[in-house]
Chains A and B, each alone.
Chain A
Amino acid sequence: MTTLSIDHVSRWFGNVVAVNDITMTIGPGVTGLLGPNGAGKSTLINMMGGFLAPSTGTVTLDGQPVWRNEEIYRHIGIVPEREAMYDFLTGREFVVANAELHGLGDKAAQRALATVEMEYAQDRKISTYSKGMRQRVKMASALVHDPSLLLLDEPFNGMDPRQRMQLMDLLRRMGDEGRTVLFSSHILEEVEQLARHIEVVVAGRHAASGDFRRIRRLMTDRPHRYLVRSSDDRALAAALIADPSTSGIEVDVTEGALRIQAVDFGRFTALLPKVARDHGIRLLTVSPSDESLESVFSYLVAA
């Protein structure tokens, strides 16, 4: 059982606060660290991995400080976001080197390469690898010493769907084995598929923590905005506003469209086509106007 504790950690770079007083505990199983780009996820992961000193607060692994403690790496496996990885080596040479640096041999390297299913390309130079292959070799290098904590910074970036699924299966397996696995992502769906427990970071602050479904509900229950064009905007507006799922409608004359604010996402999406059909109105455009992740997150922060 490995527990990573982040205790009132802040980190600033000059005047910029990248991480603002975050406290969280990461236990066994898979945890997703979710946040938009620039939210401070990488800064946080760098502090968790002992590559960056917190400006204030402490990061400990089962009570041991992580910063300036090389021995801690016997327990931590790290998959960095950056691409660079001794491209002049073959995949096998790279993983063997990583094993040797842990005081292990070829056997451990071979086992790790098998785990990520990279044996078939292990004798090719890393410089010839695709993004997904690189990611898997990085993963193998992080697994050679059988760590109890695995930290992955945006591991799915640039992977195709099949590679993504393979890596997800692997991480799920690691979590089921009782390892503590933490990965960061700015993509909601990725986190949803993999992690039951999530930590949300927005603008350096800890915005939410806990079960994914609960947080997902928070995200979907927020007011949704839609842009709708129809064969009869005013008749549609009149019919929709009668239902409590809609809290406001603006007739945008210049756009020739309705701007609708819905408070009950599920009910509104069922209501709209029904109302249109009942009134003989044709729907021409239905587009959510604030679906960007940033707006979801900013809503979460405000909640």
Chain B
Amino acid sequence: MYDPTVARLTYRALLGRRRALILGALPLLLIVIAVAVRALTGADDQTAADVLGGFALATMVPIIGVIAGTGAIGPEIDDGSVVYLLSKPLKRPTIIFTKLIVAIAVTMVFSALPTLIAGLILNGNGQQIAVAYTVAALVSSIAYSALFLLLGTVSRHAVVFGLVYALVWEALFGSLVPGARTLSVQQWSLAVAHKVAGGNLVTSEVGLTTATVLLVAVTALATWYAGQKLRALTLAGEE
């Protein structure tokens, strides 16, 4: 199911100079914010939860997910170099699964790790807030990677659609329209975080069971479907 060569090619493409810079910018911003907030207001649990929930989980994680998830396959399909993977006796789902693992790992490193560091800076993991949001970031990294990998497989405009989903749906609708909140990776991961932190600082619109089922289902379905789409991927000529 996992091919180390596909993984190596994907890592190197994802962590190429330009993309690595974009991937690194948001985590850096988060840590700068954390340092500034801590310096200005001191350690405060509510503020820590606000920064981690409002910026890290609602904005940074999905954007990193978009970059890593779509970037793991989209550019290869766009420029046609995916032909070197497709012209091999490799099962298509193996290619997708491997790329998913890489996307998840990259998203986790660039989103969950900075979330933990920012949380420790903000209030030293008081009330388990840093750990709770880190867990949420880890969990949502998986679902986002699967979703955006699928998007990268089916659409040439994956980054745009991905950002629209991440910013408009998750961030905007999620806070305005109650129904949208239940269909949000962010809320599902918050349900898991709530379980970790306890108390009222980390809350979610959905219950833990629903959240877990939806997270697993979305990840599995997106991955399966991406594999199917790749099997039927046609490389149109330049004519």
Question: B-contacting residues of A (Cβ < 8 Å)?
Answer: 13, 18, 37-38, 40-43, 45-46, 49-53, 68, 70-74, 76-78, 80-82, 84-86, 88-89, 97-98, 100-103, 141, 153
13 pairs of residues in contact across A and B, judged by CB atoms under 8 Å:
A38-B239, A42-B239, A45-B237, A46-B237, A49-B87, A51-B234, A71-B89, A80-B80, A86-B9, A88-B13, A97-B5, A100-B5, A141-B84
Which 8 residue pairs across A and B have the least CB separation, nearest first? Answer: A42-B237, A84-B79, A82-B80, A101-B88, A100-B5, A84-B81, A51-B235, A78-B87
B157 within 8 A of A: no
Are B236 and A76 in contact, with the CB atoms below 8 A? no
Question: A-contacting residues of B (Cβ < 8 Å)?
Answer: 3-6, 8-9, 12-13, 16, 79-81, 83-92, 231-239
Are B231 and A86 in contact, with the CB atoms below 8 A? no
**Set of chain A residues within 8 Å of B234, measured between Cβ atoms:** 46, 51-53
CA distance A88 to B98 in the complex (A): 20
Beyond A46-B234, A153-B237, 19 extra complex contacts between A and B, CB < 8 Å: A18-B239, A41-B239, A43-B236, A43-B237, A53-B232, A53-B234, A70-B88, A72-B89, A84-B79, A85-B84, A86-B81, A88-B16, A97-B5, A100-B4, A100-B5, A101-B3, A101-B88, A101-B90, A102-B88
Q: Which residue of chain B lies nearest to A74 when distances are taken between CB atoms in the complex?
A: B89
Q: Which of B85, B92, B237 has the most CB of A within 10 A?
A: B237
CA distance A13 to B234 in the complex (A): 12
CA distance A46 to B31 in the complex (A): 49
CA distance A89 to B16 in the complex (A): 11
**Set of chain A residues within 8 Å of B92, measured between Cβ atoms:** 70
Are A68 and B83 in contact, with the CB atoms below 8 A? no
Neighbour of A46 across the interface among B16, B85, B232, B235, CB < 8 A = B235
Known contacts A43-B237, A82-B238, A86-B13; A73 and B232 CB within 8 A of each other: no
CA distance A73 to B90 in the complex (A): 9
Are B236 and A52 in contact, with the CB atoms below 8 A? yes
